[in-house]
Amino acid sequence: MEDQWRAYVDEQVNVPPSAEGVLHGLTYAVKDVFNIKGYVSGAGNPDWKRTHPIPSKSHAKAIELLMHEGATLKGTTHTDELMYSLNGENYYFGTPINPKVPERIPGGSSSGSAVAVAAGLVDFALGTDTGGSVRIPSSYCGIYGFRPTHGVVPIEGVIPLAKSFDTVGWMTQTMERLVQVGRVLIRGGSKDHVIKRIIIPEDVLELIDLEFRQITNEKIDQIKEHVDKVESVRLASGGLGEWLETFRVLQGAEIWETHGAWIEKYNPTFGPGIRERFEWTKSITEAEVQGALEKQKDIQKRMQDILQDDGVVIMPTAPSSAPMLNTDGEALDSFRQRLLRMTSIAGLSGLPQVTLPLVNKDGMPIGISIIANRKSDLGLLAWTEQILNKIEKVRGG
């Protein structure tokens, strides 16, 4: 029955709780990049599993945190190869089926985790988010998703992609559950983050398909009513293309640093698209990296100035709902450029971002995101839950 969603790599993996706790009775799944004692993670590529045959000696730290609070791990879920895609169409292992719009891609790289949650197979799921890999499948599958501040959720025991951007994120069907899991996983940061300003990034809004503008505008308008101040800004004076390029170069260089030796040693066979991107990471020069690091500093300062301690940026999570299944690779690569302009904003500054599901009049899911300053994770989640409750109350009343 659950097979129909193709969410799981291995449903036999089962890790019971080690204690009772606040997640008692809840089930979850993890992307197949988390260490599980006695198990070999596959990272979405057959050559990875073949060349990393030794079972993990311990669980990833995030799994331990969840075990200690009573949650039961039910299985591992599909990922794009080495987490290096936002589509969820794995050349070797197929495509998990998007439960909300089955004719469209689920998004990736945490594709199976998003599908497992959207199909109701588990109460929540863990993914990883380097360049959008939790946020994008959450947006496409119509669920809640969270990418934490870089470093506040333990990443020990997770196969890396690009270390200064990698985060452990999670997905749920409700905001309440998103917060509940966050209270267990988020280690550090402040709960007392008072949000007074919402910031609308005009240059991000210019990127989205017009048909999703109305639904995002409506949600922004609802949120506006509950804050003191609304500001419109352009984030990037030189264009978000420059931010994307900065992200691509830094992420790419780190990817090669992380996986280059393995790739050169084993010459793994990657599927189309993934292969070309890995090849490109090898060609990045030190001068490009230095230039990008300088730009990253400017970008981080810009986001700091905009957000300060009391602001959140509100914007769509993606430029549109999920692309159709089997869209040709070139077209997806073009689309990826718009997508990364949006997802790299949080990535470049290590910012927390929550994505909430909206549905347009044609039934197409798209996420709307709230980004806050670093280490405000619990405050951001609490504020978002509060705002959604207020909106619900207004609409119910």
**Contacting positions for a second copy (CB under 8 A):** 202, 205-211, 213-214, 217, 238-239, 241-242, 320, 323-324, 327-328, 330-332, 334-335, 337-338
Catalytic: 196?
no
How many of the other CB atoms lie within 10 Å of CB of 12?
9
Output the smallest distance, CB 219 to a second copy, in A.
Answer: 14
b (16+ CB within 10 A) / e for 89-114: bbbebebbbbbbbeebbbbbbbbbbb
Catalytic residue among 41, 109, 111, 349: 109
Catalytic: 31?
yes
Instruction: State the virtual CA torsion across 15, 16, 18, 22 in degrees, nearest 10.
Output: 110
Nearer to a second copy, 40 or 230 (CB): 230
Answer whether 150's CB lies under 8 Å from 157's CB. Answer: no
Residue for token digits 């990049």? 33
Nearer to a second copy, 205 or 233 (CB): 205
Output the smallest distance, CB 238 to a second copy, in A.
Answer: 8
Residue for token digits 């990037």? 236
Residue for token digits 């390029």? 245
Nearest to 332 by CA among 349, 346, 318: 318
Output the smallest distance, CB 361 to a second copy, in A.
Answer: 10
Catalytic residue among 41, 133, 320, 321: 133
Output the smallest distance, CB 157 to a second copy, in A.
Answer: 36
Catalytic: 369?
no
Answer whether 125's CB lies under 8 Å from 66's CB. Answer: no
Residue for token digits 């909206």? 358
**The two three-digit tokens of residue 359, written as one number:** 């549905």
Q: Which amino acid would we find at residue 14?
A: N
Give the list of residues 6+ apart from residue 151 with CB closer than 8 angstroms, or none: 167, 350
Output the smallest distance, CB 242 to a second copy, in A.
Answer: 7
Nearer to a second copy, 105 or 141 (CB): 105
* Residues classed as catalytic: 31, 109, 133
